A and B are shown apart, each in its own frame.
Chain A
Amino acid sequence: MISIHLALFLIFGVVAVAGAVNLLAQRHPINAALSLIAVMAALAGEYMLLGAEFLAAVQVIVYAGAIMVLFVFVIMLLNAGVEERTEGSRVAIIFGIPGVLLGSILVAWVILRYSETEAVPAGALPGAPSTIGQLLFHEFLLPFEITSILILIAIMGAVVLASKPEPAAGGPSKKLATEQKVND
């Protein structure tokens, strides 16, 4: 008999894994972005199962709603097309993939074999916003403030890096036709 908890876990898990594999399989980046959004949604479900409500909400709002939207914007801005097949690095293919595969299989096997099968009850630890907030502003105040500064810097950096170079400043000679179109 499978409990609801396990069934939900499996459903969300399968969706997540399928999305991840699809990310690998798709050749157009926009498809990959959409499958990543699916993964994130599934993970939000997982978080709910684990009782991290606040995190689930943040995952959907920030991760899937802001970051992935940013990705999609950039993909469309740059008009990224279908990926070409190029001669890449042999090391990546030969060593990387099998390595990762082996590593993950090994880890999975070990975990499944040797760890205790103590169950994690659903919603065991209520991750209510108030409790998280308490933690955030008491024990983790310093990291909080630092990350806010980090975001500020990131904003400034992104603006500077992505801004269009001055036409009179003699930027790179190649100008994008698409860029012209977008900015018109």
Chain B
Amino acid sequence: MNFDFSEDQKLLQKASRDFLEANCDIARVREIFESDHSYDEPLWKGAAEMGWQGAALPESVGGAGFGYLELVLVAEEVGRAIAAIPFAPSVYLATEALVLADDAALNGKYLPGLASGECIGTFAVSERLGQSDVKNVETTLTRGKLTGHKIAVPYGDIADIAIVVAKQQGKAVPVLVDLTGPGVKRNAVESFDPAISQASIEFDAAPAKRLGGLKDGERLISNVRDRAAILIAFEQLGAAQQCLDSAVEFARQRYAFGRPIASFQAMKHKLADMFTAVELARSNCYYGAWALSTDSEELPVAACLARISASEAFQFCAEENLQVHGGVGFTWEYDCHLFLRRAMVQGSMLGTARDWKRLLIRRLAASSASVE
């Protein structure tokens, strides 16, 4: 049994954490949060110098030539720092979509830029209130032109390209659009987590290129979402752990009724429940990392497990961390709400925990013979 990361991988994680502590402490996140900047540009460039954006890409396209086991550990640290960079949409979604579609011309054109961070990608699904799902998509691709609109596109205001989920001849397909090109109008909208900027985008016959074949679209979209779900789960895991650590530290220092509040069972049990949620999420995330790194046929189920437990752990820990802090937790100047906001935005991106739960059971029911 070797269900853990290697020493080299752990060193890389340590280096990632050190880099973020030096370049992205929580004060820096708050700076972006309270400013008009859509993202932390110097940090994004620094991350590129560390090779993060291309961590899982081959050296032939400018990647670092590591693998997914390395990328997930970087993701965990990016999540822990709640860094204000478009790592998830650009690296887990846009880049992964291109890799999976495996179109030599498109890859040659875009992957080097995505790997170096010079090109920022995003992923656009939602068009209205309700489930973020291909079923609710009306944006249409006709003869290489995309028409329709998307809302709640992460970093959509500054991204260079988007993978847009659209319909072509009634079928769901992923479509690549140059957001700086003609036929694209975009507006930044107020984000629940201002460290993740979001935008509404109008497409009016914007030149666009379908990824993969017409019949492969839905499978490709589903595959991208599964893989991205595991990577985002690691960000959520890192952030959930940070909330737990912060709550433990505060509860040990804060005195009430003549003793540390951490000595009260009501606090201990809350913190123990947070620890339990984080541990379960961590174990399920590791399984996801294994599935991702081996391209296992178990990946669709592993993605659900990682995503559900990490989404729930992060939201739970963010809420309870604020509660442990009491009144100061409700103030703008304390950082609890930065994590709370991040938890809700990340949890709603790419399908909620509820969506993934239903998907999990549908997937298990379809292969119930192999369920233990």
The finding on whether chains A and B are genuine partners in a shared complex, rather than unrelated, reads no
Q: Which residues of B contact A (CB under 8 A)?
A: none
Q: Which residues of A contact B (CB under 8 A)?
A: none
